[in-house]
Amino acid sequence: MAAEIALLETSIKLRHRGPDWNGCTVAGKHILCHERLAIVGVESGAQPLTNDDESLILSVNGEIYNHKALRKLCPPTPTSRHSQIYKQMDTDVVKHLDGMFSWILLDTKKNRILAARDPIGITTLYQGWSSKQPGTIYFASELKALNEECDRIIAFPPGHIFDSETGKTTRYFEPTWWDGENIPSAPVDYKLLRETLEKAVRKRLMSEVPYGVLLSGGLDSSLIASIAARETQKIIHGQVPLNRDGDDVDESAVASWPRLHSFSIGLEGSPDLAAARIAADFLKTVHHEYTFTVQDGLDAIADVVYHLETYDVTTIRASTPMYMLSRKIKAMGVKMVLSGEGADEIFGGYLYFHAAPSAADLHKETVSRVKNLHYADCLRANKSTMAWGVEARVPFLDKAFLEVAMNIDPQEKVSVKGRMEKYILRKAFDTKDDPTAQPYLPDSILWRQKEQFSDGVGYSWIDTLKELSLTKVSDEAFAKASERWPKDTPQTKEAYWYRDIFEQWFPQEACTESVVRWIPREDWGCPADPSGRAQRVHDAAYDKSA
């Protein structure tokens, strides 16, 4: 009972992720606690889930988009009302899941625990161990549930499954593009690229609660919003059946929230707010625009670090506006949003990619960046939104879309004069060559130059953070940074400031192992500052003569 109470108290630390209900199941020496965010199966999906004889207990965070196909693959039997694909496939079950997920499965008959995380790490998952409890293994969606109990904590690797029978964690996700040394040579198929992304968005229109799209006004979020708006309108106007033949996509959201809502945030007069307004007007979404002040952002920094569980500079810069926007979204009763993370990593969209020495180098970097998304943009999207009980879904990281986009000849992704970053993605949705086609976006958005989110919300945001850090951190303290933190020493006063806040929330040494700082490729001659404006190509792109 004492252990159960202790775990329940720990679970409360994650209630922001699942404010709708909570559950706890004890089976032998195993305890599973769950804080639920109800989006699908609102009235029937209380967790942890059990099968008919309660021999299988499951706690899962995320969404399985191909659940209809899985039911066909393994239908319920006359003696069981549940589809039990695990009994048929054992650990191979995870290879058949299409979605975003972290889950723990307890097989009580075998006294066996399985833990798995989605291929790219869209959802968060941590694993911990305590020297005070040898042999005990802990799992949680966030670091804060483990840091006081465990003296070793890792970010559970995406695309892997842990099996207590073997004690091993093995990679199940093995796409063709995983080895970055194998440089692909396939020409770009614009139609395939477009249709695969459209289906990725359509899959994610699965919800029994109000949903929307995050709309920064940049290319990536605007494309996702455009596709979502189109799919919604097709169904509303009867152009396709709700469950189209041969398509196992669950489009339940359209029935309950038929008009698409979009959300944007920025400082007064920011580039993103202006661009998002243009995109929203074009797409005819119900648009919600929020402005924040620099002081609003500064007031939120400590809480952002607490929820993000990182001290990475670019993640904190970009997460603060997203964190504040998520609070507004939740206040409207919206619990799920589509977002545009992943495109820059896939297509070499960050401005520092202009400095890639060769197409092969660019490809290797895209593979590396996609593999490490769970430390950066996936972590930001998940934790910034889940801090307020909102789920972010990211179509660009769809497995099928990745298989297409990551196998394109990287020469097609190289930015040269007259061919801006993410050219092939823009071209795939450019309808000017077809006079009968309805444009996806206005040209001013489809061909808008890259602004990293932390820049686009207003340039004074980053400028103020850098200036304020000069007063927050003394020269004397900064000079001793390597003594205080010999490992992963902060290189700027801004980085020092965030590291100091992180340590206040998470003083245990085990908490730093799961943090990875992201900086551009200095070996390519890029500035260390991750801001897009720090890259030379930013200003050149706004010079029409360049």
pLDDT tens per residue, range 386-425: 999 999 999 999 999 999 999 999 999 999 877 889 999 9
Q: Which two tokens stand for residue 368?
A: 């590396």
By CB atoms closer than 10 A (0-12, 13-18, 19+), residue 24 is middle
- The whole-number pLDDT of residue 300 equals 97
Domains and their CATH numbers in the chain = 2-171 (3.60.20.10), 190-464 (3.40.50.620)
Residues of the chain with pLDDT under 70: 1-2, 44-45, 78-83, 235, 237-258, 450-458, 530-546
* Rounded CA separation 229/223 (Å): 10
**pTM, to two decimals:** 0.92
Q: Which of 377, 446, 361 is nearest to 158 (CA)?
A: 377
Q: State the Cα–Cα distance between residues 486 and 300, nearest whole angstrom.
A: 28
Q: What are the residues facing 214 on neighbouring strands? A: 263
pLDDT of 454: 47
β 126-129/137-140 pair status: antiparallel
Query: Helices 493-505 and 313-331, interaxial angle, to 10°?
Result: 60
pLDDT given at position 277:
96
Decide: 395 and 204 in contact? Cβ < 8 Å. yes
pLDDT score of 178: 97
Token pair 């993410």 is found at: 422
Q: CA 427, CA 405: separation in Å to the nearest integer?
A: 13
Which CA distances in Å does 30 have to 58, 109, 111, 156? Answer: 12, 13, 9, 19
CA dihedral of 163, 169, 171, 172, whole degrees rounded to 10: 10
Give the strand order in the sheet containing 261-266. 286-291, 261-266, 211-214, 336-338, 391-393
Annotated binding site for ATP: 214, 265, 339-340
Instruction: List, as residue ranges, the binding site.
Output: 214, 265, 339-340
Cα separation of 418 and 446, whole Å?
Answer: 15
Q: Are 372 and 313 in contact (CB under 8 A)?
A: no
Q: Between the CA of residue 168 and those of 58, 110, 387, 442, what are the distances in Å?
A: 20, 16, 31, 51
